[in-house]
């Protein structure tokens, strides 16, 4: 007996909000859509879910197709299922967001996909409900970062305290006090001073820090209270 007979089937898509940080602004990776409808308009990277892959695997594939990256921090955001969200036909989309290091992203791939990093402060209109997805992802990122150390996923391996603070300010969209921020981060015991200095942005130079992997994983599991 097949109790699932006569059940309607649906088109199921993935859309991917890809966050990056250039040392100043929080950015998203967007593509100029290559297919109808809405060809040539700005869009999130997306794709359809295949028959033989899990939903998570589909999201990883979509991300890989655009970035060539694997082992990236990625999280399911929400399933968007309004009837008319895609103007062409009924498509239900599951949105994921990913955090990547902009530096790890290869420029040649950008052109190949008509892709660009765009500051989230000057976001153009996106197709369908993609603007809503980005808003939701920003909000979720804020929430998450307040309780998990995932912000670090956006930084290069070595980074200065100032870069770290700027990142948090970009995510929260509020300025933070330099001294209080430094104290807070040190109290988490999650970064280590390499003793080496970055000398391009100031005369004095600022120390490069790296993550303590073990402590990081611990905090990712247990949670923390950042703000």
Partner DNA sequence: ACAAAAGTGTTGTCTGTACACCCATGC
Partner DNA sequence: GCATGGGTGTACAGACAACACTTTTGT
Residues that bind a copy of itself (CB under 8 A): 1-4, 7-12, 35-37, 48-56, 58, 76, 78-83, 88-92, 94
Residue 173 annotated as catalytic: no
Looking up tokens 């033989």, which residue turns up?
52
β partners of residue 115: 31
Active-site pick, 24, 53, 82, 112: 112
Contact code string over 64-93 relative to DNA, x by CB under 7 A: ------------------------------
Q: Which is nearer to DNA, 88 or 196 (CB)?
A: 196
Binder to DNA among 65, 139, 177, 189 (CB under 7 A)? 177
Q: Which of 151, 212, 201, 208 is nearest to 176 (CA)?
A: 151
148 close to 224: Cβ distance less than 8 angstroms: yes
CB of 182 to DNA, least distance (A): 5
Rounded (10°) CA dihedral 85, 87, 92, 93: -80
**Taking CB within 5 to 8 Å according to partner kind, which of a copy of itself, DNA, none is near residue 179?**
DNA
Looking at residue 184, the DSSP 8-state letter turns out to be H
User: Tokens representing 133?
Assistant: 């997805």
Binder to DNA among 161, 167, 170, 171 (CB under 7 A)? 161
The full length of the chain comes to 227
96 close to 16: Cβ distance less than 8 angstroms: yes
CB of 188 to a copy of itself, least distance (A): 20
Provide the CA 129 distance to its chain's centre, in angstroms. Answer: 18
**Taking CB within 5 to 8 Å according to partner kind, which of DNA, a copy of itself, none is near residue 206?**
DNA
How far lies 203's CA from each of 46, 66, 161, 198, in Å? 45, 39, 16, 10
CB of 74 to DNA, least distance (A): 28
Which residues, 6 or more positions from 125, have their beta carbon under 8 angstroms from its beta carbon? Answer: 41, 42, 131
Could you say whether residue 206 binds DNA (CB under 7 A)? Answer: yes
Q: Of the ranges 25-33, 85-93, 140-148, 198-206, which one interacts with DNA (CB under 7 A)?
A: 198-206
State the catalytic residues.
112
Q: Footprint of DNA on this chain (CB under 7 A)? A: 160-162, 177-180, 182-184, 199, 201-207, 225
């Amino acid at each position: 007996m097949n109790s699932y007979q006569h059940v309607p089937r649906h088109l199921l898509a993935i859309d991917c909000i890809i966050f990056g940080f250039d040392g100043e602004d929080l950015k998203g990776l967007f593509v100029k859509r290559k297919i109808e409808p809405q060809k040539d308009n700005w869009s999130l990277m997306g794709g359809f879910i295949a028959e033989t892959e899990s939903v998570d695997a589909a999201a990883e594939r979509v991300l890989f197709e655009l970035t060539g990256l694997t082992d990236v921090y990625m999280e399911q955001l929400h399933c968007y299922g309004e009837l008319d969200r895609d103007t062409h036909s009924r498509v239900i989309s599951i949105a994921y967001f990913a955090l990547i290091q902009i530096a790890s992203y290869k420029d040649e791939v950008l052109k190949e996909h008509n892709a660009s990093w765009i500051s989230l402060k000057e976001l153009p209109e996106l197709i369908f409900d993609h603007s809503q997805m980005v808003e939701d992802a920003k909000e979720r990122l804020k929430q998450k970062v307040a309780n998990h150390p995932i912000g670090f996923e956006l930084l290069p391996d070595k980074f200065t305290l100032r870069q770290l603070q700027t990142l948090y300010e970009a995510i929260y969209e509020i300025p933070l006090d330099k001294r209080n921020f430094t104290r807070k981060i040190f109290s988490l015991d999650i970064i280590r001073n390499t003793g080496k200095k970055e000398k391009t942005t100031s005369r004095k130079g600022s120390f490069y820090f790296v993550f303590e992997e073990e402590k990081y994983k611990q905090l990712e599991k247990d949670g923390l209270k950042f703000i």
